[in-house]
Amino acid sequence: MLYNKGLLTQKAAAVMHELAVTESILEIALRHAREKNARRITGLYLVIGQWASIVDDSVQFYWDMISEGTIAQGASLHFRRVPVELACLDCGQNYQPSSEELVCPHCAGTRVQVRSGDELRLEAIDIE
């Protein structure tokens, strides 16, 4: 009983995050469409890094719900996922870290710079 309740809350909590993100996406898209006097928004192009903790399906789920009744209803969401890439400041090489190891696989260096992977932006929209 208690266990189930915990699971439920956890799940509700996890999806809430994408709700806030999806609301922001809608707000930004509607604002830009209004500026162009668009009648409809038909597509949105999202850029999301692997380190931005976003589940595409959850965004899609909320999108269908909250875009209803707006000029963005029925617009398709295009997700572009950006892998994490680190640059080693010791040996100069770029690498994609694995889930167990973050240090540079070439020289075991720990001084790194994040080149990509934490993007969370709306890049473009299709309007009519």
Partner 1 sequence: MPERIPVVEKILSANDRLALENQARFEVARVFAINIMASPGAGKTSLIEQTVRGLAGRLRVGMINGDIATSYDADRAQAAGATAVQINTGGACHLDAGMVRSALGQLNLADLDLVIVENVGNLVCPADFKLGTHQSLLVASIPEGDDKPYKYPGMYRGVDAVVINKIDLLPYVPFRMDFFKQGIEVLNPGVVQFELSCRTGEGLPAWLDWLERQVQTFKTA
Residues of this chain that interact with Zn ion (CB under 5 A) are: 88, 90-91, 104, 106-107, 109
| d(C-alpha 106, C-alpha 116), whole Å | 19
Residues numbered 54-83 forming contacts with partner 1, rule: CB under 8 A: none
Residues forming beta bridges with residue 80, ordered by sequence position? 47
Q: How far apart are CA 16 and CA 6, in angstroms?
A: 15
Out of 66, 77, 87, 122, the residue judged to bind partner 1 by CB under 8 A? 122
Number of residues that bind partner 1 (CB under 8 A): 41
Largest CA distance in the chain: 55
Q: Residue 101, interface with partner 1 (CB under 8 A)?
A: yes
| Secondary structure of residue 94 in the 3-state scheme | strand
Site for partner 1 in 19-58 (CB under 8 A): 20-21, 24-25, 27-29, 32, 36, 42-43, 46, 51-53
The nearer residue to partner 1, 68 or 108, going by C-beta atoms, is: 108
Determine, following the binding rule CB under 8 A, whether residue 91 of this chain makes contact with partner 1. Answer: no
Count of helix runs (H) and strand runs (E) in the chain:
2, 6
Backbone angles phi, psi at 11, to 5 degrees: -70, -45
98 by DSSP, 3-state: which? coil
Site residues (CB under 8 A) for partner 1? 9, 12-14, 16-17, 20-21, 24-25, 27-29, 32, 36, 42-43, 46, 51-53, 84, 99-103, 110-112, 114, 118, 120-128
